[in-house]
Amino acid sequence: MNITQILFWLLSVMALFGAMMVITSKNPVFSVLWLILTFFAISGHYILLNAQFLAIVNIIVYAGAIMVLFLFVIMLMNLNKSVEPKSNRWVKFAGAVSGGCLLLVLVAALRNTEVKGQVAQVNQGDIGLIKNLGNELFTTYVVPFEISSILFLSAMVGAVVIGKKE
Amino acid sequence: MKNVLELAYLVPLFPLLGFLVNGLGRKSLSKSLIGIIGSGSILASFIVSIWIFIQVKNGNTHTAEYFNFISVGDLRIPFAFQIDQLSCIFLLIITGVGFLIHVYSTSYMHDEKSEHFARYFAYLNLFIFSMLLLVMGANFVIMFIGWEGVGLCSYLLIGFWFKKTEYNKAANKAFVMNRIGDLAFLIAIFWLIQRLGTVSYSEVFLTENLRHLTQSDITGITLLLFIGATGKSAQIPLYTWLPDAMAGPTPVSALIHAATMVTAGIYMIARSNILYSNSPLVLNIISIIGLATALLAATIALKQNDIKKVLAYSTVSQLGYMFLALGTGSYVAAVFHVMTHAFFKALLFLGSGSVIHAMGGEQDIRKMGGLKKYMKITNITFLIGCIAIAGIPGFSGFFSKDEILAGAFGKSPVFYIIGLFTALLTAFYMFRLYATTFNGKFRGTHDQEHHLHESPMAITGPLIILAILSIIGGYIGIPEYMAHGAHALRDFLSPVFAGSYTVLGPNELSHDKEWMLTGISTVLILITVVYAWNRFTKKPELGEATGFGKVLANKWYVDELYDKVIVTPLNKFAGFLDSVIERRLIDGVVNGVGRLVNYSSRQLRLLQSGQVGSYVLLMVLGMLVVFVLQFFLRK
Amino acid sequence: MPINYYIFLSIALFCIGIVGVLTRRNAIIIFMCIELMLNAVNLLFVAFSKMHHLKMATVNASAGTEGQLFVFFIMVVAAAEVSVGLAIIVMMYRNIHSVDVNFLNRLKH
C-alpha cells in the first residue's frame, strides 16, 4: 500500500462519511458544514488525479461561494433543529431502500464494463494543469465558454426578478 | 349466345319496384295511383311469366346466374334463378291469382286512409316478390330468402290493422310458428353444405352427388326440410297459426293463406323430389301427417261458425291432401292440386270477402242466410267454388283430388279410405257453409239487410275469372284411364320428376280399378252434397255446439294444449331469466364492473398527491427498473 | 488506481444524494443533496478523463481534456442553478413561512 492508495482510501472514507452526515443531520447548519467537508474531500481526489485547476475551482466556487450562499439563506430563515420538518418513518425507509437498490443495481451493472482493468492516472499527467486546460478551453471550446456568460447573465436577472419584493 | 330467359329477373323486379314506390311514397300518392302501381306491377310480372311459360313449353329451360351471392372458401352460392317447368307453373299461379287479388283489393280496402292503403299494397307487392324469389331460386339459400320474406310479409299483413291487440297476437303466433319450421330448414341447409359443399339444385340433385350422402343423411335432411314445410304450410303440429291468421284482411287470407304462401312447402318438396324419393321412411311420415292433418282439420271445420275460419280449416285440410300426394309419390298430383286449390280457394275467400263486405263486417254465418237473392254473382261463383272443392266431376277439384286418391290407393287402401272419408267431410262442411250463408231466410239485423248489395266490378270481376278457372282448370290433367295421353300437366312436368319416377317405380293402377274408385267416390260425394244442402237449407245450425260437437268447435283443444305445455312454461322461463339472470347476474356484473372502475379510480387518484417527494421517489424507482431491464434482462 | 474504484465511489456518493432527496423534507437540504449528486458525477468525469489520457497519450497529447472541461461547465451551471433555486426558495418561504416541501401540493389539482 503506497501513499497514494492510503490517501485515496482516506479521502474516500471522508467523502462518504461526510455525505452520510449531510443527509442525516437534523440541524441544517450542520448539514451545510458536512457538505463542505465532503467537497474538500472531493477536491482532495482531484489533486490526487492531478487535476489541479479543478481542485482549486471546486473549493473556490462550491465550498466557498455556493455553500456560503446556502448558509446565508439558512440564517435568513432562521432554521434550526426545532423548526426542521420531520419525515415520517415510512418515507425514510422507502427512500433508503430505493436508494440502496439503485446502488446495488448500478454497481452490479458497471462491475464488468469494458473499462475494467483500466487505470486512472494519478500523480501524473499534464492535462490537469491550468495551462493545458486553458489552451483547450479557449480554442476548441470557446463558444460554450462565451455562452456560459450569457447563462450567468440570465441567472442573475432571474434571481433578481424572482427575489424582488412586490 | 345468351339465353333469352336471362330476362327472368324482370318477374320479381316489377313487384319489388312496386313495393318501393308504394312504400316510400305512401304519404304522397293518391289511392287510385297506388292501386294502379300495385296491380300493374303484378300484371307486368304476369305477362312476363306467360312469355316465360311459352319459352319453357318450347323446351327452353335455363338457370340464370346473376351474381355471386356468397363466396366463402370452397362454398359458392350464386344468386341464380332456375326457370324450368315446375317454377314456371308456380310463376303463373302466383302472378295470375296475385293480380286478380290485387285488383280485388283496390275495391275491398278502399275504406282505408291512403297512407294505410299504400302500406297494404306495398306489403302485398313485397310478398309477391318474396314468393317469386322462393319459386325461382336456383338453390336452397335463395329459396330460404324468399321463404323468410313471405313469413315476414305474412306477419306484416296479418297484423295490418295493428291497432287491435288480438290481431297482433295472431301475427306473432304465425311468425313464431313459422320460425320453428325455419330453424329446421336452416339445419337442413347446413347439413347439405357440410356433406356436399353446395346447395344449388342442379348440383345437389345429381345422382353422383347423391351417392355421397348416406341414407341417414338423406333421411335427416328430408325430415328437417319437411318440418320446415309443416311450419310454412300449416301441417300438424305447426298448423294452429293459420286459423288465427284470418285476422288479416280477406284478400290477404286469399292470397297468402290459400293460394300461395302455404303452398311453399309443397313447392319445396316437389323441387327436392329426388331427395324424397330416396327416403321412403320420410315419404311415409309425410303421407301420414298429411292425412292426419286433412282429417283433423276437416272435423274441426264441421263446427265452425265464422265463414273465414271454415275456409281456413278447409285450407289446412286441402294442404294435407297435397302432402298426402307428395308422400305417395304422386308429385304431379300435388302440383295439380296446388293449382286447382289456388283457383277455388282464392275464389271462396274472395267470395267470402264480398259477403263480409256486404254484411258490413259480419263474419258469423249464423247471422247470414238467404244472401242469394241479394248477391247473385257472388252466389253463383261461391257455389262453383264449393262444387270444385267437393270434387264433383267436371270441375277442377275433381281431377286433382281424384288423382291424389288414386295414388293413395296405390300405396295403401287405408290411405284411400281415410282420404275418401275426409273428402266426404269436405263436401259436407262446404255445403253446410254454402247453404247456411246463401240459402234460407236472412237472419241478420234490419240495418244489415238494407245494406246488402252486390259488390262492385273490381270485386266481382276476379270472382268470375276465378270461377271460370275453377271449372276449366282441371282439364289440363285428364287422367290416363279417361283419355289416353291427355294429361298435359304430367307431360309438361315430366322432366322435373323423371328422376323420382325411376327410383320409386310406377304407381299405376289398372284402369278398371280407377274407374271403380272414381265411381265410388263420386257417388258418395254427391249423396253427401245433397244431404248437406237439404239439411242446412231447412234447418241451419244456429245454437252453440254441444257434446262431441263442442270438442270440434273448440278445435280439439289443441291451442289450449300448446298453451299449457309450451307457451306458459316458456313464458315462465323467460320471466325467470328476466328477473333473476338478467337483473341480478348480468346487470350485477355490468354494474359491478362500473363500480369497480369507480373504486379503483378513486384509489388511483390518491397517487396524485401533489407531493413532489413522492414523484421523485417514483422517478427513482422507474430509473431502477430501467437499469435492471437494460443491464440484466437484455440478453 | 483502477477505474472501478472511482466508479464505485461515484455511484455511492450519487446514491447517497438520491436517498437524501427522497428522505428529507427541508427544501434547502434537498437542494444540497442535489449538489452532492453533481459533485459525484464531476468526480467520475475527472477520473475518466485521466483514464482516457493514459490510454491515448501516445496518439494525442491532449486526449482527456474534454472530461475536465465538462466538469468546469457543470460547475458553471450549478452555480447559476443554485442562485436561481435559492431565490425561489426564499420566495416560497416568504409566502408560506416554511421550507417544508410537503406544503407544495398544488399539483394535486
Contact B272, B218 (CB under 8 A): no
Last residue of a domain, one of B545, B579, B602: B545
Interface with A, mutate which of B609, B611, B621, B633 (most A CBs under 10 A):
B621
> What DSSP assignment string belongs to B342-355?
HHHHHHHHHHHHHH
Residues of C in contact with A61 (CB under 8 A): 75, 79
- Is B98 inside any structural domain? no
- B535 with B584, same domain: the answer is no
- B406 with B533, same domain: the answer is yes
- Is B568 inside any structural domain? yes
- Is B38 inside any structural domain? no
By DSSP bridging, strand B75-83 and strand B62-72 are antiparallel
In this structure, which amino acid lies at residue B505? G
Q: Which one is predicted more confidently, A150 or B610?
A: A150
For domain C3-99, give the CATH number: 1.10.287.3510
pLDDT for residue B111: 82
Q: Tell me the pLDDT band of C16, cut-offs 50, 70 and 90.
A: very high
> Least CB-CB distance to A49: which of C18, C50, C81?
C50
Q: Which one is predicted more confidently, A92 or B504?
A: A92
- B394 with B535, same domain: the answer is yes
Is 90 exceeded by the pLDDT of residue A155? yes
Contact B158, B264 (CB under 8 A): no
Contact A22, C32 (CB under 8 A): yes
Contact A4, C1 (CB under 8 A): yes
Q: Tell me the pLDDT band of C18, cut-offs 50, 70 and 90.
A: very high
pLDDT for residue B411: 82
**Domain tally, chain B:** 2
Distance CA B324, CA B296 (A): 14
- B472 with B506, same domain: the answer is yes
- B423 with B570, same domain: the answer is no
> Least CB-CB distance to B613: which of C102, C106, C108?
C102
In chain C, where are the structural domains located? 3-99
Q: What is the DSSP letter of B360?
A: T
Contact B182, B147 (CB under 8 A): yes
Is 80 exceeded by the pLDDT of residue A85? no
- B364 with B479, same domain: the answer is yes
Chains in contact with A, counting 3 or more C-beta pairs less than 8 Å apart as contact: B, C
pLDDT average, residue stretch C33-42: 95
- B525 with B572, same domain: the answer is no
- B358 with B505, same domain: the answer is yes
Give the closest residue to A102 by CA, choosing from C4, C48, B622. B622
**Which uninterrupted H or E stretch holds B70?**
strand B62-72
Whether C87 and A135 lie within 8 Å, measured CB to CB = no
pLDDT for residue C107: 61
Distance CA A149, CA C15 (A): 31
Is 80 exceeded by the pLDDT of residue A113? no
With an 8 Å Cβ cutoff, the interface of chain A facing chain B consists of: 91, 94-95, 98-99, 101-102, 105-106, 108-109
Q: What is the ipTM of this complex?
A: 0.89
Distance CA C100, CA A87 (A): 10
Last residue of a domain, one of B545, B580, B603: B545
Q: Which residue of B has its CA nearest to A100?
A: B624
Show Cβ contacts of residue B579 under 8 Å, excluding neighbours closer than 6 positions: none
Report pLDDT digits (tens) over B484-502.
766 778 778 888 888 777 7
Sign (positive/negative) of CA torsion B445, B451, B454, B459? negative
- B384 with B511, same domain: the answer is yes
Whether C105 and B610 lie within 8 Å, measured CB to CB = yes
- B391 with B491, same domain: the answer is yes
Give the closest residue to B251 by CA, choosing from B102, B458, B382, B457. B102
The SS3 of residue A27 is coil
* Angle B43-B47-B48 from CA coordinates, rounded to 5°: 115
The residues pairing with B137 across neighbouring beta strands, listed in sequence order, are B81
Give the closest residue to B15 by CA, choosing from B144, B116, B191, B150. B150
Angle between helices A142-163 and C65-96 (to 10 degrees): 10
Contact C32, A31 (CB under 8 A): yes
- B444 with B491, same domain: the answer is yes
User: What are the grid coordinates assigned to B16, written together?
Assistant: 319489388
Is 70 exceeded by the pLDDT of residue C109? no
> How far off is chain B from C104, nearest CA to CA, in Å?
7
Last residue of a domain, one of B486, B517, B545: B545
Whether C15 and A117 lie within 8 Å, measured CB to CB = no
**Residue ranges of A 92-151 with Cβ closer than 8 A to chain C:** 92, 94-96, 98-100, 102-103, 106-107, 110-111, 113, 115-122, 125-128, 132-133, 135-137, 141, 144, 148, 151
Contact B503, B373 (CB under 8 A): no
User: What are the grid coordinates assigned to B176, written together?
Assistant: 313464431
Q: Tell me the pLDDT band of A13, cut-offs 50, 70 and 90.
A: very high
Q: Which residues of chain B have pLDDT under 70?
A: 1-2, 485-486, 506-507, 545, 607-610, 634-635
Interface with C, mutate which of B612, B619, B620 (most C CBs under 10 A):
B612
> How far off is chain C from B598, nearest CA to CA, in Å?
19
pLDDT for residue B116: 87
| Range(s) of the domain holding residue B574 | 563-633
Verdict on whether the full-model pTM lies above 0.90: no
Whether B611 and C102 lie within 8 Å, measured CB to CB = yes
> What DSSP assignment string belongs to B396-455?
HHHHHHHHHHHHHHHH-HHHHHHHHHHHHHHHHHHHHHHHHHHSS---S-HHHHHH----
- Is B471 inside any structural domain? yes
Q: What is the DSSP letter of C97?
A: S
Q: Does C45 touch chain A (CB under 8 A)?
A: no
pLDDT for residue A116: 65
> Least CB-CB distance to A98: which of B621, B627, B631?
B621
- B472 with B576, same domain: the answer is no
Q: Tell me the pLDDT band of A88, cut-offs 50, 70 and 90.
A: confident
